[in-house]
Amino acid sequence: MGLLDKLFGRKKETKERMKIELNEQGIWLDAHSLTFPTSITYLNSILGEPSREYWDDNMWHVAWDDLGIYTEYGVMDNVISLSFLQHPQEEVKYRSIGLYEGDIYLNGVSVRGKKDFDGKIGPWALYALCYGLEGNSPVYSYQLGKNYSYVASAKKKNIYAVKNNVKDSITFSDFNFKLAVIDELMYVQEVLKPMVEVYEFANLYKGRSIDVDAEGYDPIPELVAYFKALKIDKKWADSVTEIYQDGGNEIYRTICPFWDGEDDTFTIGSFADIDQFPNLKKMTLFQTEESVLDALKAKGIEATLL
């Protein structure tokens, strides 16, 4: 410790201000990409454990009070928005205790303190929430969420057209095992492209009109068909070292956005495919027989139930 530190005390370290931004590339919480719907599990990985999480008025309410951030959800971590408190508003029942002190950007421009802006970019939006209809009402919170008026341009190329140019692909015997691998490669490692986003997929799909909000309580057939047809190059097999099944996994939120996790829709039925993944050493599974766990362990895989 230096002389000045001894005389006056060490300077208090200041935590870097959080930065949220919505731009043409998507939604960002600092360096973390965010889409909706998302899960509390994913938000916790970015924001830390919440200060409060409680059930009231048929919804779960979650707050990170020290950050001034809050949200709510009703079904299995199906989070469709995230709010950032600017001013305490007693009339608003569900909110954080602390205020959000970080930065708020829209396409590189700070909008903190502003409310007259068009916050809709592609499938996402940044909203300025005001209490009351008076023109001088201040913004009490900013909210990130879906742009419900978004319609993909008819001229936009369908990036989800299935390509058949993979010459040496993995053949799977169990579709749910394949989905677990896709989740790891597409949403965790981000090496399998394009990363499928359910609302964008629906807007670009030409065969029929897909209403995600109405149909998302069951697996959407077109997305199931897409992932069944998707070819995965064998070159990625060695990079799969872990499979982790969780109700908040992006792959399940993409196929069935409002899945409640109460059935065996995504339970792996056969593990014959593991022999194609020589570096797979750890698996966390929804449900399976103890004998299957023992068989996996005998192959050198640390296998546990979620």
Average pLDDT over residues 38-54: 92
Average pLDDT over residues 207-234: 93
**Between β-strands 26-29 and 32-34, what pairing exists: parallel, antiparallel or unpaired?**
antiparallel
Between 124-138, 186-200, 203-217, 288-302, the lowest mean confidence (pLDDT) is in 124-138
Average pLDDT over residues 210-218: 90
Between 3-7, 87-91, 163-167, the lowest mean confidence (pLDDT) is in 3-7
What confidence category does residue 165 fall into, taking pLDDT thresholds of 50, 70 and 90?
Answer: confident
Q: How far apart are CA 299 and CA 114, in angstroms?
A: 58
pLDDT of residue 138: 85
Q: Per-residue pLDDT for 6 more than 70?
A: no
**Between β-strands 19-23 and 103-106, what pairing exists: parallel, antiparallel or unpaired?**
parallel
Q: Per-residue pLDDT for 212 more than 80?
A: yes
Q: How far apart are CA 18 and CA 104, in angstroms?
A: 9
What confidence category does residue 263 fall into, taking pLDDT thresholds of 50, 70 and 90?
Answer: confident
Q: What is the pTM of this model?
A: 0.59
pLDDT of residue 151: 60
Helix boundaries (H) for the chain = 3-8, 40-47, 175-182, 198-204, 212-215, 221-229, 250-255, 290-298
pLDDT of residue 100: 96
pLDDT of residue 237: 96
What confidence category does residue 1 fall into, taking pLDDT thresholds of 50, 70 and 90?
Answer: very low
Q: Give strand ranges (E) for the chain.
A: 19-23, 26-29, 32-34, 52-56, 59-64, 69-73, 81-85, 103-106, 109-110, 120-121, 124-130, 139-146, 242-244, 282-285, 302-305
User: Which residues, other chains included, contact 29 with Cβ-Cβ below 8 Å and sequence gap of 6+?
Assistant: 18, 19, 20, 46, 47
Q: Which residue has the tokens 């209403």?
A: 211
pLDDT of residue 87: 87
Higher pLDDT, 16 or 50: 50
Instruction: Classify residue 24 as exposed, middle or buried by CB count within 10 Å of its CB (0-12, 13-18, 19+).
Output: exposed
The four Cα atoms 24, 82, 131, 138 give a dihedral, to 10 degrees, of -60
Q: How far apart are CA 259 and CA 268, in angstroms?
A: 16
Q: How far apart are CA 253 and CA 234, in angstroms?
A: 25
Domain boundaries of the chain, sorted by first residue: 9-146, 175-305
pLDDT of residue 73: 86
pLDDT of residue 128: 92
Q: Per-residue pLDDT for 4 more than 70?
A: no
Average pLDDT over residues 158-167: 76
Average pLDDT over residues 106-113: 93
pLDDT of residue 280: 96
Q: How far apart are CA 190 and CA 120, in angstroms?
A: 26
